């Protein structure tokens, strides 16, 4: 099931309480992201070695900037597509495709934060979007605003990951 909200403790248990406190005490969004990433990496390291395919799938998605189909990904990690999708839903709550979209969005926000002027075609192409309509759709879905609106609000842009 996608787009289902879960209590974080039902997925990660009581260990999430300490992380929640640490994140609440963090001084900025970058520190919060670093804490969350460190926690998730630690959780991945605790996984059964038989699930190494999952870690490899994540690495490949990141390496390829989210530009890999679930079919290709499943072949590269030697598991079926359905098994890979189940693993992603179980551990992250999203499909490999959505995870890839999030990686492209993260890359886009990183580029936008560094840019002094923005060429939307270049951002779209560099991040692996098929066209600007797909870029704008993902941007709105993940940030809640259009790319143009966020560029006009530097504080909102800085708050985004990337």
Stronger pLDDT, 28 or 98, i.e. the higher one: 98
**pLDDT tens for each residue of 101-133:** 999 999 999 998 888 889 999 999 999 999 999
Stronger pLDDT, 3 or 99, i.e. the higher one: 99
Query: Is 105 a domain residue?
Result: yes
Q: pLDDT-derived band of residue 10, with 50, 70 and 90 as boundaries?
A: low
Query: Is 94 a domain residue?
Result: no
> Which residue, of 16, 31, 46, is where some domain finishes?
46
Query: Is 153 a domain residue?
Result: yes
Stronger pLDDT, 5 or 7, i.e. the higher one: 7
**Residue 150 sits in a domain of what CATH number?**
1.10.10.60
> Which residue, of 10, 28, 46, is where some domain finishes?
46
Range(s) of the domain holding residue 32: 1-46
Integer-rounded Cα radius of gyration of the chain: 17
Calpha distance 162→120 (Å, rounded): 17
Query: Is 56 a domain residue?
Result: no
Query: Is 141 a domain residue?
Result: yes
Query: Is 36 a domain residue?
Result: yes
Counted domains in the chain: 2
Distances in Å between the Cα of 4 and the Cα atoms of 7, 8, 72, 156 are 10, 12, 27, 26
3-state secondary structure of 7: coil
Query: Is 54 a domain residue?
Result: no
pLDDT beyond 90 at 45: no
According to the model, what pLDDT value does residue 59 have? 92
pTM of the shown model: 0.68
Query: Is 133 a domain residue?
Result: yes
């Amino acid at each position: 099931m996608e787009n289902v909200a879960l209590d974080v403790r039902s997925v990660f248990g009581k260990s999430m309480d300490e992380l929640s406190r640490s994140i609440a005490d963090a001084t900025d969004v970058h520190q919060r992201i670093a804490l969350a990433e460190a926690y998730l990496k630690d959780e991945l390291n605790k996984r059964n070695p038989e699930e190494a395919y999952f870690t490899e799938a994540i690495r490949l998605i990141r390496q390829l900037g989210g530009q890999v189909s679930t079919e290709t990904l499943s072949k590269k990690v030697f598991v079926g597509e359905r098994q890979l999708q189940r693993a992603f839903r179980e551990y992250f709550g999203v499909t490999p495709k959505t995870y890839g979209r999030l990686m492209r969005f993260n890359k886009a926000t990183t580029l936008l934060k560094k840019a002094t002027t923005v060429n939307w075609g270049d951002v779209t192409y560099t991040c692996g979007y098929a066209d600007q309509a797909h870029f704008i759709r993902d941007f709105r879905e993940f940030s809640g605003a259009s790319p143009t609106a966020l560029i006009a609000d530097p504080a909102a842009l800085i708050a985004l990951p990337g």
